[in-house]
């Protein structure tokens, strides 16, 4: 068990180190998605975490869900190991309350209503930005609890990577780029697989593994009338799983994205436009049947921004997308919808005061008009200390599955959209060698969609989510440390019960040190006991602490070796009722960048 005294020592040492200096230096990270424009992270009036490619590689996470679970305000529920379904919860919201944006494109299945992250390869990711708190005033439906914005690989030169690990894990990828005058071309391709392990010992006595192939081809062309971009991504694979429903226990998956973009700076005005098309194909099958779920989304975005005065900036734009069910195992009563939106916002900053405001109007073919808004204010007491407050409204329309799948008796076409009103108050301190942020948040959810005893979606009149986040980064005697603690209190106000799979307490700690060509790190991740729902076989799952270690060695400027061990003490734990998780497991990887 994670000792509270140990946690207190970590917090005290980190705070002490962060307070050793009052010199304020700008953090290197830039937020791109919190305000839809590039902004220094310390000037964003929201809780934001940014991971660049070097950060992602250094953490040596098994997959994207495991990486996200190390960040403040996020917890994870897994149906097994790599490749199996994983649910990511930001600040206690449903999985579908987090909008996933990939290269500026709204992503995810139109039938599920969210993006499944278990088969999105880390090898294809250049940058991750997580915004905690509602952002519907900028992005519309789904951004109730937060936004996960992913930028895919933008290789410079040539890079080769390979990895092996426990449960038959192996993979390799290559990235190349070439600059010819004003034309830049980049490509990434890779392969990954694992034999896996049996994720439900009470069901099929088989291993549940996966197999995956992915590629990206992109080109940028600089012209006198702006930067033109074109991109094509494909991610296909196969994964196995265990379920108590029917005999379908494996799936083929395919995701394709086509993107055309334009950016131009004309005087004080900055223009951006993007047209995209996404195909999401997940066909589940077994020895007796198959169930295809194929959805498509076409989207157009345009935005423009300018500085009205030295202290006041304006941004506005339009967003249009059409999503449809191309093929499915059932006939949906409605299988397409169109959303049209206008959005605008202002940012004011003078002396020690900063104000943000944004508003959006969405017109959806099924649910008419929906207004969302966000207001935020920040005040700097000194160059290091800042207080900020914010309030925002958001909404999410029911998914096609909520409304119509699998049919009468298990679907609910009368569902109303979910709506939230969220507040946040935070105080932060930034110094040359670290930062501290303490945030309180509260989220009132009207018409929260949950399954009843018959597994039919129903609107809960109201749910309440509140909590506290403490995030610390500090260099303590040459040891770089990050510490995050989250307390999350959730309640279904109709029943008085907690919302399922949201632990009340989580702690994530990481410490690392470098010696010349050698570096090493240790991690500890704690989660308190978790309510699984009143219809689960095991209503509560026990808490646990997982330890991990890792190291890297720079053989030369071109070659780096890495090794890590997760679940170091072979903890037997669960995050989803009866679904087995990985025991002690190791990974080895090598990166080669020809000079």
Question: What is the distance of C-alpha 268 from the center of its chain?
Answer: 33
Mean pLDDT to the nearest integer, 494-508:
94
Q: Do the beta carbons of residue 486 and residue 469 sit within 8 Å?
A: yes
Residue 132 β-bridge partners:
47, 146
Q: Return the residue matching tokens 């062309």.
A: 221
The model's pLDDT over 564-574, given as tens digits with 9 standing for 90+, comes to 999 999 999 99
Closest to 79 (Cα-Cα) out of 199, 227, 214: 199
The pLDDT of residue 143 is above 80: yes
Rg (CA), the chain: 23
Residue 438 β-bridge partners:
427, 470
The answer to the question of residue 202 being in a domain is no
Residues 6+ apart with CB under 8 A from 444: 420, 421, 422, 462, 463, 464
In which band, very low, low, confident or very high, does the pLDDT at 22 lie, cut at 50, 70 and 90?
A: very low
Per-residue exposure over 129-149, b if at least 16 CB sit within 10 Å of its own CB, e if not: bbbbbbbbbbbbbbbbbbbbb
Predicted pLDDT at 494:
85
| Number of other CB atoms surrounding residue 416 within 10 Å | 14
Predicted pLDDT at 23:
35
In which band, very low, low, confident or very high, does the pLDDT at 211 lie, cut at 50, 70 and 90?
A: very high
What is the rounded distance in angstroms from the CA atom of residue 396 to the CA atom of residue 449? Answer: 10
The pLDDT of residue 337 is above 90: yes
The pLDDT of residue 18 is above 90: no
Predicted pLDDT at 28:
63
Ordered DSSP codes for 233-277: EEEEEEEE---SSSS--EEEEEEEEEEEEEEEEETTEEEEEEEEE
The answer to the question of residue 449 being in a domain is yes
Mean pLDDT to the nearest integer, 204-225:
95
Q: Supply 387's token pair.
A: 């207080």
Overall domain count for the chain: 1
Handedness of CA 405, 408, 411, 415 (dihedral sign): positive
In which band, very low, low, confident or very high, does the pLDDT at 1 lie, cut at 50, 70 and 90?
A: very low
Question: What's 444's domain CATH number?
Answer: 2.40.170.20
What is the rounded distance in angstroms from the CA atom of residue 211 to the CA atom of residue 215? Answer: 14
Q: Return the residue matching tokens 């980190």.
A: 14
The model's pLDDT over 458-484, given as tens digits with 9 standing for 90+, comes to 999 899 999 999 999 999 889 999 999
What is the rounded distance in angstroms from the CA atom of residue 447 to the CA atom of residue 399? Answer: 14
Q: Do the beta carbons of residue 463 and residue 492 sit within 8 Å?
A: yes
The answer to the question of residue 473 being in a domain is yes
What is the rounded distance in angstroms from the CA atom of residue 57 to the CA atom of residue 398? Answer: 37
Predicted pLDDT at 57:
95
Closest to 343 (Cα-Cα) out of 370, 378, 382: 370
The residue count of the chain comes to 595
The answer to the question of residue 460 being in a domain is yes
Predicted pLDDT at 20:
39
The model's pLDDT over 514-549, given as tens digits with 9 standing for 90+, comes to 999 999 999 999 999 999 998 889 999 999 999 999
The model's pLDDT over 325-336, given as tens digits with 9 standing for 90+, comes to 998 888 899 999
Q: Supply 583's token pair.
A: 């025991």
Mean pLDDT to the nearest integer, 138-159:
94
What is the rounded distance in angstroms from the CA atom of residue 11 to the CA atom of residue 205? Answer: 44
The model's pLDDT over 259-288, given as tens digits with 9 standing for 90+, comes to 999 999 999 999 999 999 999 999 999 988
Q: In what order do the strands lie in the sheet with 47-51?
A: 47-51, 125-132, 146-152, 98-102, 105-106
What is the rounded distance in angstroms from the CA atom of residue 173 to the CA atom of residue 98? Answer: 29
What is the rounded distance in angstroms from the CA atom of residue 577 to the CA atom of residue 537? Answer: 7
What is the rounded distance in angstroms from the CA atom of residue 67 to the CA atom of residue 354? Answer: 32
**By percentage, how much of the chain surpasses pLDDT 90?**
82
The pLDDT of residue 562 is above 90: yes
What is the rounded distance in angstroms from the CA atom of residue 366 to the CA atom of residue 110? Answer: 14
The model's pLDDT over 431-459, given as tens digits with 9 standing for 90+, comes to 988 999 999 999 999 999 998 888 889 99
Q: Do the beta carbons of residue 104 and residue 303 sit within 8 Å?
A: no
Span of 7-21, 217-231, 366-380, 508-522 with lowest mean pLDDT: 7-21
ω into 547 cis (within 30 of 0): no
**Furthest-apart CA atoms within the chain: distance in Å:** 68
Q: Supply 342's token pair.
A: 């206008």
The model's pLDDT over 411-431, given as tens digits with 9 standing for 90+, comes to 899 999 999 999 999 999 999
The answer to the question of residue 471 being in a domain is yes
Residue 476: phi and psi, rounded to 5, are -110, 105
The model's pLDDT over 26-74, given as tens digits with 9 standing for 90+, comes to 346 899 999 999 999 989 999 999 999 999 999 999 999 999 999 999 9
The answer to the question of residue 405 being in a domain is yes
Q: Supply 452's token pair.
A: 């009843």
What is the rounded distance in angstroms from the CA atom of residue 65 to the CA atom of residue 87? Answer: 8
The pLDDT of residue 5 is above 60: no
The answer to the question of residue 272 being in a domain is no
Report angle CA 256, 259, 264 to the nearest 5 degrees. Answer: 165
Residue 409 or residue 16, greater confidence: 409
Beta strands 353-364 and 368-380 are antiparallel
Mean pLDDT (the chain) is 92
Ordered DSSP codes for 480-500: EEEEEEEEEEEEETTT-PPPT
Instruction: End-to-end CA distance of the chain: give it in Å, rounded.
Output: 47
The model's pLDDT over 377-408, given as tens digits with 9 standing for 90+, comes to 999 999 999 999 999 999 999 999 999 988 87
Give the residue numbers spanning the domain of 479.
4-163+311-552+567-586
The answer to the question of residue 288 being in a domain is no
Per-residue exposure over 53-76, b if at least 16 CB sit within 10 Å of its own CB, e if not: beebbbbbbbbbbbbbbbbbbbbb
Q: Do the beta carbons of residue 234 and residue 262 sit within 8 Å?
A: no
What is the rounded distance in angstroms from the CA atom of residue 122 to the CA atom of residue 56? Answer: 8
Q: Do the beta carbons of residue 105 and residue 257 sit within 8 Å?
A: yes
Residue 522 or residue 115, greater confidence: 522
Predicted pLDDT at 506:
98
| Number of other CB atoms surrounding residue 255 within 10 Å | 23
């Amino acid at each position: 068990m994670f000792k509270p005294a140990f946690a207190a020592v970590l917090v005290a040492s980190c705070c002490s180190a962060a307070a050793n200096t009052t010199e304020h230096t700008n953090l290197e990270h830039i937020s791109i998605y919190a305000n839809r424009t590039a902004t220094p992270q310390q000037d964003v009036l929201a809780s934001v975490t940014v991971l660049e490619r070097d950060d992602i590689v250094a953490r040596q996470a098994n997959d994207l869900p495991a990486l996200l679970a190390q960040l403040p305000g996020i917890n994870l529920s897994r149906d097994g190991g790599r490749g199996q379904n994983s649910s990511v919860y930001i600040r206690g919201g449903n999985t579908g309350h987090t909008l996933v944006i990939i290269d500026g494109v709204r992503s995810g299945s139109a039938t599920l209503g969210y993006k499944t992250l278990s088969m999105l390869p880390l090898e294809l990711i250049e940058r991750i930005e997580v915004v905690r708190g509602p952002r519907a005033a900028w992005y519309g439906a789904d951004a109730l609890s937060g936004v996960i914005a992913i930028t895919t690989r933008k290789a410079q030169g040539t890079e080769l990577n390979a990895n092996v690990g426990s449960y038959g894990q192996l993979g390799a990828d290559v990235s190349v780029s070439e600059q010819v005058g004003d034309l830049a071309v980049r490509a990434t391709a890779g392969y990954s697989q694992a034999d896996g392990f049996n994720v439900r010992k009470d069901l099929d006595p088989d291993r549940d593994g996966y197999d995956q192939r992915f590629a990206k081809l992109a080109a940028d062309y600089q012209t006198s009338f702006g930067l033109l971009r074109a991109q094509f991504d494909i991610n296909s694979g196969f994964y196995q799983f265990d379920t108590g429903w029917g005999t379908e226990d494996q799936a083929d998956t395919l995701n394709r994205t086509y993107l055309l973009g334009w950016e131009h700076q004309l005087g004080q005005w900055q223009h951006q436009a993007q047209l995209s098309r996404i195909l999401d194909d997940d066909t589940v099958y077994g020895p007796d049947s198959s169930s295809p779920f194929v959805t498509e989304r076409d989207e157009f975005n345009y935005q423009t921004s300018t500085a009205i005065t030295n202290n006041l900036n304006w941004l506005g734009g339009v967003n249009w997308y059409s999503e449809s069910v191309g093929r499915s195992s059932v006939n949906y009563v409605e299988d397409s919808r169109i959303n049209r939106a206008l959005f605008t916002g202002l940012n004011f900053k003078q002396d020690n005061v900063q104000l943000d405001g944004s508003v959006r109007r969405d017109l959806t073919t099924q649910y008419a008009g929906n207004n969302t808004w966000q207001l935020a204010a920040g005040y700097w007491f000194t160059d290091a200390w800042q207080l900020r407050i914010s309030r925002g409204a958001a909404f999410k329309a029911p998914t096609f599955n909520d409304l119509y799948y699998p049919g009468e008796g298990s679907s609910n076409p009368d569902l109303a959209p979910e709506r939230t009103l969220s507040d946040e108050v935070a105080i932060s301190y930034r110094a040359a060698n670290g930062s501290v942020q303490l945030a309180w948040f509260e989220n009132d959810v009207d018409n929260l969609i949950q399954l009843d005893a018959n597994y039919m979606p129903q609107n809960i009149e109201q749910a309440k989510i509140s909590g506290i986040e403490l995030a610390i980064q500090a260099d303590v005697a040459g040891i770089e440390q990050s510490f995050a603690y989250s307390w999350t209190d959730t309640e279904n106000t109709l029943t008085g019960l907690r919302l399922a799979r949201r632990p009340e307490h989580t702690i994530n700690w990481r410490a690392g040190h470098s010696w010349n060509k050698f570096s090493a790190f240790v991690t500890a991740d704690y989660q308190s006991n978790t309510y699984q729902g009143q219809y689960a076989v095991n209503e509560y799952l026990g808490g646990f602490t997982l330890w991990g270690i890792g190291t890297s060695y720079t053989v030369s400027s071109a070659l780096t070796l890495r090794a890590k061990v997760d679940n170091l003490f072979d903890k037997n734990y669960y995050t989803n009722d009866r679904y087995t998780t990985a025991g002690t497991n190791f990974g080895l990887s090598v990166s080669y960048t020809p000079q």
